[in-house]
């Protein structure tokens, strides 16, 4: 059994890591770290874990990584880089924050408004979109898990740009996301009275996941690709639906995605014309993608759904950790979606 530590255990992604690892045959939780809740039992923070036998929450200064085989860092961006830069080079780390996703410290500073404190680790970190970086993930000690919004769009677009089957301009990503993507810290905009019975766009034209789209889409296309990305907050706890508008032949697009994902466990392409729903992936590590031809012959709508807390974050983190530890990447992640 690999002994794992979860830093940031009192947030939503930390809690999701705990829930998933509880069913993992090869991981056991050795340490839980959460600065503001140090000294408490996890059941004091999350009563739904009352039945689990878990270690008491500590602060990061008490964490002895010499007794840890793997670290999950579920800290906010800006905080994660400071903590991770202090760890020994020998401990494998899966980071769920944005701190190591971008390869350029200048780009990081542009989008996150602060200098990076560990720029020497940016080139070492592997972008954690598992299905596209498996070999690199197996060989690294630091994985930077993707943004949940970015992952949803990238699963639909990367194979198409890599194989030149869609136009590289005028790509529009219209995305709806559940409120848990905003984190657990109290904010006025996500109070029930503020959010319920309404839908709103946020961070229009300036969402930080645009940097990930720029980096990853341009890389596979071999030229700069700039997308229009508009995220919307919807009154549900979890789940992301991206509707992506592209130009190309619908059958060629479908065949390309089918060829790329037919052997993938967690990415499912629906029959052409069928569109997915977030309720069909809720609580799971699965992605569903649909291809719907527009009435205009050269326009196509791609629809992708995933659970932002699982495949968009904690499930992806465990999938990557499995590869880093030499395990089957599906270990602990094959539970079917929750329904209803």
Q: What is the pLDDT of residues 86-126, one digit of tens each?
A: 887 889 999 999 999 999 999 999 999 999 999 999 999 99
pLDDT number for residue 182: 65
Model's pTM, two decimal places?
A: 0.95
Mean pLDDT throughout 282-298? 96
Is 127 domain-assigned? Answer: yes
Assess whether 261 and 142 both reside in one domain.
no
**Is the predicted pLDDT of residue 189 greater than 80, yes or no?**
no
pLDDT number for residue 319: 98
Mean pLDDT throughout 267-278? 97
**Is the predicted pLDDT of residue 288 greater than 80, yes or no?**
yes
pLDDT number for residue 142: 97
Measured distance CA(311)–CA(319) in Å, rounded: 9
Measured distance CA(302)–CA(155) in Å, rounded: 10
Which one of the listed residues 63, 96, 148, 227 is annotated catalytic? 148
Assess whether 142 and 168 both reside in one domain.
no
CATH classification of the domain holding 123: 3.40.50.720
| Rg, Å, the chain Cα set | 19
Q: What is the pLDDT of residues 207-229, one digit of tens each?
A: 999 999 999 999 999 999 999 99
Q: Could you tell me the two tokens for 233?
A: 């907050």
Nearest to 144 by CA among 65, 241, 211, 239: 211
pLDDT number for residue 109: 96
Q: What is the pLDDT of residues 36-58, one digit of tens each?
A: 889 899 999 999 999 999 999 99
Active site residue 256: no
Torsion angle defined by CA atoms of residues 6, 337, 23 and 43, in that order, rounded to the nearest 10 degrees: 60
Give the residue with greater pLDDT, 163 vs 205.
Answer: 163
Assess whether 288 and 226 both reside in one domain.
yes
Is 330 domain-assigned? Answer: no
- The mean pLDDT of the chain is 94
Assess whether 70 and 169 both reside in one domain.
no
Task: Count up the domains in the chain and report the number.
Answer: 2
Assess whether 181 and 301 both reside in one domain.
yes
Q: Which domain holds residue 120?
A: 2-146+311-324
Mean pLDDT throughout 185-201? 75
At 180 the three-state DSSP class reads: helix
Distance in angstroms between the alpha carbons of the first and the last residue of the chain: 34
Q: Could you tell me the two tokens for 224?
A: 């700069």
Q: What is the pLDDT of residues 292-323, one digit of tens each?
A: 999 998 999 999 999 999 999 999 999 999 99
Q: Which residues contact 149 (CB under 8 A, 6 or more apart)?
A: 175, 177, 181, 207, 209, 229, 231, 240, 242, 308, 312
Banded model confidence at residue 194, pLDDT cuts 50, 70, 90: confident
- What are the backbone dihedrals phi and psi of residue 183, each rounded to the nearest 5 degrees, phi first? 90, 180
Report cis status (omega within 30 of 0) of the bond before 340. yes
Is 338 domain-assigned? Answer: no
Measured distance CA(9)–CA(74) in Å, rounded: 7
At 72 the three-state DSSP class reads: strand
Assess whether 289 and 316 both reside in one domain.
no
Assess whether 155 and 115 both reside in one domain.
no
Q: What is the pLDDT of residues 120-138, one digit of tens each?
A: 999 999 999 999 999 999 9
Assess whether 317 and 271 both reside in one domain.
no
Is 339 domain-assigned? Answer: no
Assess whether 175 and 226 both reside in one domain.
yes
Is 109 domain-assigned? Answer: yes
Q: What is the pLDDT of residues 6-18, one digit of tens each?
A: 999 999 999 999 9
Nearest to 217 by CA among 171, 286, 269: 171
- What are the backbone dihedrals phi and psi of residue 86, each rounded to the nearest 5 degrees, phi first? -90, -10
Mean pLDDT throughout 252-266? 98
Assess whether 318 and 298 both reside in one domain.
no
Torsion angle defined by CA atoms of residues 157, 145, 279 and 186, in that order, rounded to the nearest 10 degrees: -120
Give the residue with greater pLDDT, 275 vs 197.
Answer: 275
Assess whether 139 and 216 both reside in one domain.
no
Measured distance CA(105)–CA(120) in Å, rounded: 9
Assess whether 139 and 158 both reside in one domain.
no
């Amino acid at each position: 059994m690999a002994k794992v530590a979860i830093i940031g255990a009192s947030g939503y992604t930390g809690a999701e890591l705990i829930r998933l690892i509880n069913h993992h045959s090869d991981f056991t939780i050795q340490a839980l770290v959460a600065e503001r809740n140090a000294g408490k039992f996890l059941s004091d923070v999350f009563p739904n874990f009352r039945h689990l036998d878990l270690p008491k929450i500590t602060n990061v200064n008490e964490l002895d990584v010499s007794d840890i085989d793997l670290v999950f860092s579920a800290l906010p961006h800006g905080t994660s880089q400071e903590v991770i830069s202090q760890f020994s080079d020998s401990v494998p780390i899966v980071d769920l924050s944005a701190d190591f996703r971008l390869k350029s410290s200048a780009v990081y500073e542009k989008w996150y408004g602060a200098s990076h404190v560990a720029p020497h680790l940016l080139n070492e970190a592997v972008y954690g979109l598992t299905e596209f970086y498996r070999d690199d993930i197996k060989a690294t000690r630091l994985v930077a898990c993707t943004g949940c919004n970015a992952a949803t769009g990238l699963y639909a677009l990367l194979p198409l740009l890599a194989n030149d089957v869609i136009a590289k301009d005028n790509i529009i990503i219209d995305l709806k996301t559940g409120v848990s993507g905003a984190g657990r810290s109290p904010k006025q905009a996500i109070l029930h009275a503020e959010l319920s019975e309404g839908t709103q766009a946020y961070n229009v034209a300036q969402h930080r996941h645009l940097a990930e789209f720029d980096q990853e889409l341009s890389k596979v296309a071999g030229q700069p690709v700039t997308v229009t990305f508009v995220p919307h907050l919807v009154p549900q706890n979890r789940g992301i639906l991206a509707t992506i508008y592209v130009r190309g032949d619908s059958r060629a697009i479908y065949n390309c995605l089918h060829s790329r994902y037919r052997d993938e466990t967690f990415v499912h392409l629906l029959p052409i014309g069928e569109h997915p729903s977030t309720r069909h992936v809720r609580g799971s590590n699965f992605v569903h993608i649909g291809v719907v031809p527009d009435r205009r012959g050269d326009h196509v709508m791609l629809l992708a759904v995933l659970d932002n807390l699982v495949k968009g974050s904690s499930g992806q983190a465990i999938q990557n950790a499995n590869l880093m530890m030499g395990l089957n990447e599906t270990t602990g992640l094959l539970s079917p979606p929750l329904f209803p």
